[in-house]
Amino acid sequence: MSSYQLDLTRRPRRTRRTAALRTLVNETTVQASHLIQPLFVIEGDGPPEPIESMPGQFRRSIADLLEECKELAGLGIPAVALFPKLDAAVKADDGREATNPDTLVLRAIRALKQTVPELAVIADLALDPYTTHGHDGLWDASAQDLANDPTVEVLCEMAVLAAEAGVDIVAPSDMMDGRVGAIREALDGNGHQKTAIMAYSAKFASAYYGPFRDAVGSSASAGTPHLDKRTYQLNPGNRREALLEVALDEQEGADILMVKPAGPYLDIIREVREETDLPLAAYQVSGEYAQIMAAAERGWLDLERCRDESLLAIRRAGADMILTYFAKDVARSLAGVPSDAPLGA
């Protein structure tokens, strides 16, 4: 080996030399406490239904959901986000089932808050699981667009019903103008000042939502997982518009802001982080999950390393919390529990 040596004062590799040194200078971590597990709930008492386009994810009955959430809480995951898949028979153009006081997701919230009270529960506010057309609000066929203000009125009613069921956070994901302020007013006016709002503030019209639409049945209703929602979701090329939406949601009273999807929009996460002091969430969506799982199944990627790196990048960009379908597996890994072992093994 050559004796040649550079005359360097600064050698950054010194602090990478051992695992202990790398730990000391580590700037970003992903812990179970940073993660939110999205969950899909269905009617009945049957076994969990596998979601073909999301390997390892299931639609669960309320009874099975409770058992899953007990395990998640035991792993240190602080919150879950619930999404219902409804029978086609209860769907309608106006999504009226969304304001049924005994609808599926409200029964699931009540059961969860009674059984696993320490777990924070997030309720999605949007009409796509409830409508025959699969859009996130009330569809105006003549205009070929969503009716903004009438949709907001329904979202307010959904928010109050979710708060009455005991939900901790409502999360409007519809991207209607003015909905955060209207929901805050509705919650406060009905005695739910303590219910928080997680606003899907910068939700882009992304091609990465297809597996989710399969999971909740909105793609089947509409006939395609690639339903065009560009009249209300953000243009993927628009950075400044995203920051405007974020600023408006903060002004209207959002408690937590969100960027969705996460991985393809790390630049937006970083810019939002620099513009606000509010807590910031990012949603690693179904397509992000599916592409990592599919590549790993084919042996093209190391699943655990790519999974962990993808989440680390989202945290490094500035997200305080991440909604991710990997939440349970990451928490088990951090706890030293094999992915196929029962909790406590």
**DSSP per position, 229-266:** -TTTSBPTT-HHHHHHHHHHHHHHT-SEEEEESSGGGH
Asked whether residue 345 is assigned to any structural domain, the reply reads: no
pLDDT of residue 342: 47
Question: Please, are residues 177 and 249 in contact by the beta-carbon 8 Å criterion?
Answer: no
Asked whether residue 344 is assigned to any structural domain, the reply reads: no
Domain of 209, in residue numbers: 29-334
d(CA 77, CA 334): 11
pLDDT digits (tens, 9 = 90+) for 321-332: 999 999 999 999
Residue 306 CA to chain centroid, in angstroms? 19
Asked whether residue 13 is assigned to any structural domain, the reply reads: no
d(CA 286, CA 63): 24
d(CA 37, CA 24): 29
Asked whether residue 5 is assigned to any structural domain, the reply reads: no
Asked whether residue 100 is assigned to any structural domain, the reply reads: yes
User: Exposure string (b/e) for 80-106, b if CB count within 10 Å is 16 or more?
Assistant: bbbbbbbeeeebeebbebbbeeebbbb
Length of the chain: 345
Q: Catalytic one among 85, 91, 229, 260?
A: 260
- Non-local CB neighbours of 227 within 8 Å, separated by 6+ positions: 134, 135, 213, 218, 219
Q: Catalytic one among 85, 91, 203, 229?
A: 203
Asked whether residue 33 is assigned to any structural domain, the reply reads: yes
Asked whether residue 286 is assigned to any structural domain, the reply reads: yes
Helix ranges restricted to H, the chain:
19-24, 62-74, 104-115, 148-165, 179-189, 210-216, 218-222, 239-252, 266-275, 286-297, 303-317, 327-334
pLDDT of residue 230: 93
Mode of pairing for the β-strands spanning 169-172 and 120-125:
parallel
Number of domains in the chain: 1
Asked whether residue 155 is assigned to any structural domain, the reply reads: yes
Would residue 203 show up in a list of annotated catalytic residues for this protein? yes
Mode of pairing for the β-strands spanning 49-50 and 35-41:
unpaired
- Strand, helix or coil at 281? strand
Residue 160 CA to chain centroid, in angstroms? 21
Tell whether the torsion through CA atoms of 289, 293, 294 and 300 is positive or negative: positive
d(CA 62, CA 115): 11
Residue 289 DSSP class = H
Provide, rounded to the nearest whole percent, the portion of the chain with pLDDT above 90: 88
pLDDT of residue 224: 64
User: In this structure, what CATH number is given to the domain that contains residue 100?
Assistant: 3.20.20.70
Amino acid at 188: D
d(CA 329, CA 35): 11
pLDDT of residue 225: 63
Helices and strands (H and E) in the chain: how many: 12, 12
Crossing angle of helices 239-252/266-275, nearest 10°? 40
Question: Please, are residues 4 and 291 in contact by the beta-carbon 8 Å criterion?
Answer: no
Low-confidence ranges of the chain (pLDDT < 50): 342-345
Q: What is the pTM of this model?
A: 0.94
d(CA 168, CA 241): 29
